[in-house]
Structure 1
Amino acid sequence: MIDILEHINAIHRQVSVTGEEVRVVLRRSYQAEVEEVWDALTDPERMRRWFMPISGELKVGGSFQLEGNAGGEILECEPPERFKVTFGGPTSLVEIKLTAGPDDTTELQMDHSVPAEYAGGAGGALFVGPGWDGGLLGLALYLEGQIAEEDDPREMANAPEAVEFTKESVRAWIKTVRESGLATEEELRAAAEPAIAQFAPGSSFDDFS
């Protein structure tokens, strides 16, 4: 059993619009040293345990492909503190930063920026935010030793607890976008409805309001 609300509240979410860019930021602390978190994020054998299989030439200038998901190019890498990649397209940029915290903890910050035209405004955070929340949850469970060798993260994503976590994640992102003041209620609904269909099928926008 996982404490769904504890994991939801462990993530700090932010969305901003600057010029022609929409930027989504997630932050979460882990009870592990920076080198351990970095290794879990970048070692293909460990990544498949909590995220999904990855292939490619995993170095600066190389490319990667997540099995059944997006791929991209590795633009920058500074072990064990930072890497930057394209994700699903050349103008979709993801950057991960790790910093040491107190008592052998690590703070992870993820920045995902896309052109505003592509994102459709601040509401575009709903297209990626819940998915990234799920990734940060998987990393937490893995670092805490709650994922067994035989567990398949893709199957785990369909477990009742994971489904409920994703619904609460959608709720949290709707709240984040609404509180940002960067989208009208109509724009928020327009972005939320397809995101709900993807991440929380069977629910409606009114269920989250």
Structure 2
Amino acid sequence: MIDVTHQINAVRRRVGTRVLEAGEARVVTISQTYDATIDDVWDACTNAERIERWFLPISGELRLHGHYQLEGNAGGTIQQCDPPKSFTATWEYGGDVSWIEVRLSADPEGGTRFELEHISHVDDERWAEFGPGAVGIGWDMGLVGLATHLSSGAAVDPQEGAAWAASEEGKRFMSLSSQRWSEASIAAGTDPEQARAAAQRTMAAYTAEPSE
């Protein structure tokens, strides 16, 4: 499906905090530069027909103040939109509300830099248990789809994607992603032993066999 080592190394990951009206929030940032124009990347991220080709089927109104719903996943409201540079939206799932901010910019070395921030209020106990990889691995998997789509123009077959994620190669990708998010957490000040333990728990959750 994709060169695992190349994709892992192509992505930049950062962990931080931000103070919101409701208090301090955790911020997970993921970015990658693509060999594509900013208009093409923008269209891939905001056109419902193309989002389905690399991420998930999406319904709703993809416009300012419109509501969207990803099939079997999060929904929310688009709060800000500045084509083709940025948009922000709520990310509502399982009764929790967080936020995503997507920014596109020209990379000095060519291509378009995609950056996504996922901002959420996570209690200390839950953060200590799973760390940034809880959402970070999922976004890493999303960027695999985007990279594949932008490089080939083809749609990512959901069944093939699920089979790849369950394969040894897919598990190796998630393991490397979990490790890199652990390193980002340590760089942000987390105790190394705690960060690595959280990464192991997150990886176990992602690779657990579904119950019948």
Q: TM-score, normalised by structure 2?
A: 0.83
Q: Is the 8 Å Cα contact of residues 47 and 54 (structure 1) preserved in structure 2?
A: yes
1:92 and 2:98 equivalent? yes
Residues 4-26 of structure 1, C-alpha deviation per residue, up to 9 Å, x if partnerless? 11100111101013452111111
Q: Give yes or no for contact 1:121–1:183 (8 Å, CA) kept in 2.
A: no
2:149 corresponds in structure 1 to: 142
Residue 153 of structure 1 deviates from its aligned partner by 3.1
Whole-Å separation in 1 of the counterparts to 2:159 and 2:65? 29
Aligned counterparts, 1:96-107, within 5 A: 96-102=102-108, 104-107=110-113
Equivalents in 2 of 1:171, 1:154: separation in Å?
26
Runs of 4+ aligned residues of structure 1 deviating over 6 Å after TM superposition are none
Amino acid at match of 1:87: W
| Partner residue, 2:185 | 177
Identity rate, percent = 39
Residue 207 (structure 1) aligns with: none
Q: TM-score, normalised by structure 1?
A: 0.84
Gaps of 5+ in 1: 203-209
- 1:184 shift after superposition: 6.1
1:48 maps to what in 2? 52
Segments of structure 2 that go 5 or more residues without pairing to the other structure are: none
Q: Which residue of structure 2 aligns with residue 76 of structure 1?
A: 80
Cα-to-partner distance string for 1:52-95 (whole Å, 9 max, x where unaligned):
10001211111111111111111111111100001125740100
Write the distance in 1 (CA, Å) between the matches of 2:186 and 2:109.
Answer: 35
Query: Residues of 2 paired with 1:176 and 1:93: CA distance?
Result: 20
Distance 1:142 1:194 in 2: 31
Instruction: Report which stretch shifted further, 124-133 or 10-19.
Output: 10-19
2:111 alignment partner AA:
T
AA aligned to 1:199 is Y
- The 8 Å contact of residues 51 and 139 in structure 1, kept in 2 or not, is answered as yes
Mean alpha-carbon deviation: is it higher for 14-23 or for 44-53?
14-23
**SS state at 1:158 partner:** helix
User: Tell me, what secondary structure is at the counterpart of 1:96?
Assistant: strand
**Corresponding position: 1:157 with 2:162:** yes
Cα pair distance change 1:175/1:100, threshold 3 Å: same
SS of residue in 1 equivalent to 2:73: coil
